[in-house]
Structure 1
Amino acid sequence: MTDMLLSINGDEYPVVVDTRETLLDTLRERLDLTGAKKGCDHGQCGACTVLVDGRRVKSCLTLTVTLDDREITTVEGLADGDRPHPLQAAFIAHDAFQCGYCTPGQLCSAVGMLAEAAAGWPSVVTEDVCAEPVLDEEEIRERMSGNLCRCGAYVNIVAAIGEVAR
């Protein structure tokens, strides 16, 4: 067990964690931040995606002890007070969810993906890796491919992200 001070959504959380404990379990079981979901527990579905220093990570594969002096953002921290994040508003407007189980991971992944594209990072389908990425449907689908939706709401998810990207 080790004492830690986690910075999550702009707040500090003192916590004692087992050195083998995942961030997902710390968030859900110790801190009652249940937005990130335990889908596959193998890093394959993306339901547990959160941001660490603005980069998307699968919290089911990330050990909590590795996050000292790092800023963690969960879906609970995306909104600005009562004002939803633009992606949250777009997901609602485009009906980009059905059961909603994957939605927190989709949202955090989309926030990280937009930041990656804004920084000029290419993806596998980027035609000219030296040019600014163009977030068309193919590019968004590729960049979001680590997040699965069992309901198949991909068309609306891509449309919502595309609206915010423009």
Structure 2
Amino acid sequence: MLLVALGLSANAQDADKNQGLYGIIQLGYVKNSTLVYRYQSQSTTYDAEDAHVRSINVLMGYYIMPKKLSLGAGFGIDGFRRPDFGTLPLYLDLRYYFTEKRNTFYARTNYGGYISTGPPFTTKGRYFRLGGGYKAFLTRKLCLNFDISYAPARLTEPNNEYWNINGVAFSLGFVLF
């Protein structure tokens, strides 16, 4: 049933992919700039030189103001390196498109949380992004999103230890419909 609805929506989508329902598969990389670990009342700052996150996310959204404003929900898998752990982000996505043209810049924000589902995903916390990007058609039907955003995270371990992490996120999104 869901596949039929998605198929009908994909066929009904306009050529500029800027109204109605849309889907994006997004590959991401976050270069972390600060890592602060806290346990009880002690705080330790770590070298963030090799710290990064690789992610894959799936986003479904809808243009609540055609060609201008979209609201969606996303989920994914994030692999943190140095420190090493996995997280599952679940978030809302809000995008504002600056023009009604086929290729356009946009501002975006994501807000949600990292959910814990058990090992190896025992870390939970706050998920946030604030940034901008560019929606570009490489061919008549192939549409990509390129974006950059500020990516702070506060992640809590099961024993109430937590990490405050700040970084810059880069992502490439494949617009499906």
Fold equivalence (TM over 0.5): no
User: What interval of TM-score do these two structures reach, taking the shorter chain for normalisation?
Assistant: under 0.3
Q: Tell me the TM-score normalised to structure 2 length.
A: 0.26
Greater C-alpha radius of gyration: 2
In terms of fraction of residues, the more strand-rich structure is 2
In terms of fraction of residues, the more helix-rich structure is 1
